[in-house]
């Protein structure tokens, strides 16, 4: 092998290493990214299916999701729902797939059907709330997430990996209830102390409340977890711009 080929191979290896390490800082997020959402749903368990229910269509559909063959997945889940209309799983996965296709209204309809059949199935309730939140329907989303906080115990919420207190907090924040938001941001932080999304919005809410000392501590924690957090540096840029604009105005007024 020539020296040129060796050096290019080394470069490729080092680039792969860099990519894999850079992902670690942003792996945990309160709001699922596309990549996280398209991973195989970990909600189907044999013991949860009613006796005599054939799960092969569900498993095929999940396999199609993994391959990004969403239309094929929809066929499987649609056929399953026709065969077993009283199983919440079929409607849930139909909603889940519609969500991946960005068909939010259809997704919500199917999540509601799943919840109507099984009120204790947390994922369908969570994703309905998430979609309402993503459409800026903060009051609707808050109602859904508040309902989860009331009807599910803390251990179930922890095990689900859905940081429900974060969504309660951010809905309160956007609705202008900053004090209530602060309470739930603290709860969310205790659940996921290394989540950069939780840390950023917790700090942002503290700034809005003018709790500058708390905000400083929160942002220090954020930078410890994710030093390249784009939201934080955009915020600093914005504050820097307005600070200098204000100082320039003061200077002009003093010169007059």
Look at residue 215 and tell me whether its pLDDT is greater than 50: yes
Q: Classify domain 53-135 at the CATH topology level.
A: 1.25.40
- The mean pLDDT value for 216-227 works out to 94
Instruction: State yes or no: pLDDT of 14 exceeds 90.
Output: no
Which tokens belong to 102?
């960005």
Report in angstroms the alpha-carbon separations of 8 from 4, 42, 176: 6, 40, 54
Mean pLDDT along residues 133-141: 97
226: confidence class by pLDDT, cuts 50, 70, 90: very high
For 216, the token pair is 């400083």
Q: For the chain, which residues make up each domain, given as ranges?
A: 53-135, 138-236
Using the predicted structure, report yes or no on whether residue 244 has a pLDDT greater than 80.
no
Average pLDDT on 200-219 reads 95
Better-scored residue on pLDDT, 158 or 5: 158
Distance, CA of 139 to CA of 43 (rounded, Å): 27
User: If one looks up domain 138-236 in CATH, what number appears?
Assistant: 1.25.40.10
Q: Which pLDDT score is estimated for 251?
A: 64
Topology alike, domains 53-135 and 138-236: yes
Residue 232: band (very low, low, confident or very high) from pLDDT cuts 50, 70, 90: confident
Residue entry with tokens 């990549």: 35
Banded pLDDT at 36 (limits 50, 70, 90): very low
Q: Of 125, 135, 78, give the one whose Cα is nearest residue 103.
A: 135
pLDDT digits (tens, 9 = 90+) for 155-194: 999 999 899 999 999 999 999 999 999 999 999 999 999 9
- Are 229 and 222 spatial neighbours (Cβ–Cβ below 8 Å)? yes
Q: Which of 240 and 67 is assigned the larger pLDDT?
A: 67
Nearest 5°: phi and psi at 44?
A: -85, 120
Give the mean model confidence (pLDDT) for residues 71-93.
96
Q: What mean pLDDT comes out for the span 87-110?
A: 97
């Amino acid at each position: 092998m020539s020296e040129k080929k060796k050096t290019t191979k080394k470069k490729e290896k080092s680039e792969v290493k860099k990519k894999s390490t850079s992902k670690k800082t942003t792996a945990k997020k309160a709001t699922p990214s596309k990549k996280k959402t398209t991973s195989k749903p970990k909600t189907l368990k044999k013991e949860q299916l009613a006796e005599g229910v054939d799960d092969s269509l569900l498993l095929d559909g999940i396999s199609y999701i993994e391959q990004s063959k969403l239309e094929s997945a929809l066929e499987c889940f649609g056929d399953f729902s026709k065969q077993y209309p009283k199983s919440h799983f079929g409607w849930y996965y139909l909603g889940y797939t519609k969500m991946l296709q960005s068909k939010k209204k259809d997704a919500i309809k199917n999540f509601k059907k799943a919840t109507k059949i099984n009120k204790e199935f947390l994922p369908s309730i969570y994703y309905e709330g998430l979609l309402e939140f993503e459409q800026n329907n903060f009051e609707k989303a808050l109602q859904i997430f508040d309902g989860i906080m009331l009807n599910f115990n803390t251990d179930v919420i922890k095990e689900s990996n859905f940081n429900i207190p974060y969504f309660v907090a951010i809905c309160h924040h956007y609705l202008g209830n900053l004090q209530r938001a602060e309470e739930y941001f603290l709860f969310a932080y205790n659940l996921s102390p290394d989540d950069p999304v939780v840390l950023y919005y917790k700090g942002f809410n503290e700034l809005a409340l003018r709790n500058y000392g708390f905000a400083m501590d929160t942002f220090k924690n954020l930078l410890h977890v994710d030093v390249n957090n784009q939201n934080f540096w955009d915020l600093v840029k914005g504050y820097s711009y307005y600070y200098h604009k204000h100082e320039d105005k003061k200077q002009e007024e003093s010169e007059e």
